A and B are shown apart, each in its own frame.
Chain A
Amino acid sequence: MATLQLNQVTKSFDDTHVIKGVDLEVNDKEFVVFVGPSGCGKSTLLRMIAGLESATSGDIMIDGTRMNEVGPADRGLAMVFQSYALYPHMTVEDNMGFSLRLAGVDKEQRRDKVREAARILQLEPLLDRKPKALSGGQRQRVAIGRAIVRNPSIFLFDEPLSNLDAALRVQMRIELARLHEELDATMIYVTHDQIEAMTMADKIVVLQGGVVEQVGSPMELYHHPRNRFVAGFIGSPKMNFLPVEVVEADAEGVRVRLPGGGVTKVPVEGRDLRPGTALELGIRPEHLVLDDDQGPLSGDIQVLERLGGQTSLYVQMDDAMVTIMADGDVAHRVHDKVRFGFESGRAHLFDSDGLALPSLELHPLAGLRRQDNRAATDVNGA
């Protein structure tokens, strides 16, 4: 059992408020990802949980016990640092066994535990090497191994993959997901990379300016972003935003006028909106469809990126630039004029404060967690 609870946690350095009252609940065995742009306070929050940084106010509870005044080592956590922070003068084995040595565990037992962690991470042949003689990926694995050896109730990861090259990052991502399953531990992971967040998390916490913008499963954040910031941050390429105007609103949705004059009905809650209210319509690049006959939107292709399987079109409209993810073999060329549209159920509407109008229907996958994914695969396999 390992749960974490944050109650109105704040952190200030003099007059700078880095964390402004965060409430959060992390359940047992959950993989939680803190994501946000740099400077949003995600690393500070993680360091506060670790005990490396004190909280200015609020409670940090681990398994129901207040831990604010407890030292880092006594919180039962282990942390993997972005820089790996291996002890350069010790061998891999000594690095991994350092915490046990400090705890006074005898040599035999220490050896067994280190070997066990090394087996999980396939580090056995490297145990006698110094960190200097390891590649980036191997160092990362040693850092994880050092955490495993401590047998912590919660693993903390501070941007562990950002020093690795792209290919290795994908590989380590998969390895971490596998590790989470094998260790069956609670993990908290900090990253600025929304792809890492989407692929690994059971629960994503989106932070901005020291405030939690939204907490939810990856699919929930993708399909039901609470505000414009989350909508723009989750998903790649970024969501497009178009200025629209309310034509009519009723219980079945809001009819809005698109740039170019077309009208579409978005199924969101907004019956109190008056005609003429200015809103913003958000639509993801992958939900825009090229439709040269009837597309209500149009523009000129400025840049065209062919990725093979997909093509990104950057289209200049009258007063906005939009990205369209189209099929890999679209025949269009740069400077072509294109017409395009979208399925109205895919669109989001944001009011002038940037808050999303709630959808009338919950997306079927919105509640899906990564573990559920796993179960589904098993069923399919059988």
Chain B
Amino acid sequence: MTTAKTKTLAADGQAPAVPIPRTSTLSSARTRRLGLTVLGWAIACLIFFPIFWMVLTGFKTESAAIADPSLIFSPTLESYAEVQLRADYFKFALNSVVVAFGSTLAALLIAIPSAYSMAFLPTKRTKGTLLWMLSTKMLPPVGVLVPIYLLFRDVGLLDTRTGLTIVYTLMNLPIVVWMLYTFFKDLPKDILEAGRMDGASTLQEVVFLLLPLTLPGIASTGLLSVILSWNEAFWSLNLTSSNAAPLTAYIASFSSPEGLFWAKLSAASTMAIAPILVFGWLTQKQMVRGLTFGAVK
């Protein structure tokens, strides 16, 4: 290090003619970074492998799918055609879109005012309420399946998009309120107070100040809610049959008592996850920005 320094100084800021030997600290830092990069990629590949294999299997014939695993095969769209023949993909996809976005919108509409009051007008019971809300997520859903099923049957909500939207809204509400609460809490109270001094009503405070300033957080919360609703299977399988069934029910319909048809199942699964995968990929910048919002100031 010292030699390097002296040489640089001797050359009066110019690059020295003799290359400076890399110092040990520098190279060890590089090695570590390289190691971490390799490890990161390895873990990513491990996690992604099942999805990759599923996509691959979707392009195989049924016989190739159950044969010895191989990367070399002649790809075919046979499974996709058969899958589409058996069930209308687009009907299910539309249900998924309506229910996922509908429930997210509803959850945000309920959660924004509640998170606002918890973040800016807290009472002694606010913390307890938040924890209680979260605790409902720890209850196994099957525990409330029968009462909800009976309720839905009596009011005619079984196998309707409205019914499923209501369930998803309630399912995601605790998480949505929690996330919004943490984003709102990061906003300096002074800004809203300044708004109040300027004559803003509570609604104007929310619309002109709170929402624009926490938009990244609200967006990432919404995205998470969409993804959770899209991937939900338990309620959709139990509360829908044909009219309102979303893509998760569509996939499940391919595991039949006659046996598993891997190629068709893979093709159906690939089609089911494709929209949300593309959606997630397009919005990942927003997601990361939202989830790390407030962490770095």
Contact = CB atoms under 8 A, between A and B. Distances in A.
B199 A85 contact: no
Contact of B195 (A71, A78, A98): A98
Given A89-B212, A89-B213, A79 B200 contact: no
A88 interface: yes
A315 to B, nearest CB: 45
Contact of B196 (A72, A146, A150): A72
Nearest to A50: B197
A146 B200 CA distance: 14
A52 B197 contact: yes
A81 B209 CA distance: 17
B193 A98 contact: no
B191 interface: yes
B77 to A, nearest CB: 49
A192 B195 CA distance: 26
B196 A52 contact: yes
A85 B188 contact: yes
Contacts of A98: 195, 198, 208
A163 to B, nearest CB: 12
B198 A73 contact: yes
A83 interface: yes
Contacts, number: 56
Contacts of A83: 188, 190
Contacts of A82: 190
A103 interface: yes
Contact of A77 (B195, B197, B200, B209): B197
Contacts of B199: 73-74, 99, 102-103
Contacts of B212: 89
A102 B196 contact: no
Contact of B197 (A78, A87, A103): A78
A330 to B, nearest CB: 47
A52 B188 contact: no
Contact of A73 (B190, B191, B197, B208): B197
Nearest to B189: A85
A87 B193 contact: no
Interface in A71-121: 71-74, 77-79, 81-83, 85-89, 98-99, 102-103
Contacts of B255: none
Contacts of A85: 188, 190-191, 193-194
Interface residues of A, number: 23
Interface in B166-201: 188, 190-191, 193-200
A87 B191 contact: yes
B120 to A, nearest CB: 12
A378 to B, nearest CB: 36
Nearest to B200: A102
A169 B191 CA distance: 23
Contacts of A74: 199
A77 B188 CA distance: 21
Contacts of B193: 52, 72, 79, 81, 85
Interface in B229-261: none
A79 to B, nearest CB: 5
By CB atoms of chain B within 10 A, which of A74, A87, A89, A103 has the most? Answer: A87
Given A88-B213, A89-B213, A150 B198 contact: yes
A211 B13 CA distance: 64
A94 to B, nearest CB: 10
Given A83-B188, A88-B213, A89-B213, A73 B200 contact: yes
A102 B190 CA distance: 18
Contacts of B196: 52, 71-73
Contacts of B208: 98, 102
Interface string A210-254: 000000000000000000000000000000000000000000000
Given A52-B193, A81-B193, A85-B191, A146 B213 contact: no
B198 A99 contact: yes
Contacts of B195: 87, 98
Nearest to A152: B197
B197 to A, nearest CB: 5
Contacts of B213: 87-89
Nearest to B194: A85
A99 B197 CA distance: 8
B138 to A, nearest CB: 32
B200 A81 contact: no
5 contacts: A52-B197, A74-B199, A78-B197, A83-B188, A102-B208
Interface of B: 188, 190-191, 193-200, 204, 208-209, 212-213
Given A85-B188, A85-B194, A87-B195, 14 more contacts: A50-B197, A73-B197, A73-B198, A73-B199, A73-B200, A85-B191, A86-B191, A89-B213, A99-B199, A102-B200, A102-B204, A102-B208, A146-B194, A146-B198
Interface of A: 50, 52, 71-74, 77-79, 81-83, 85-89, 98-99, 102-103, 146, 150
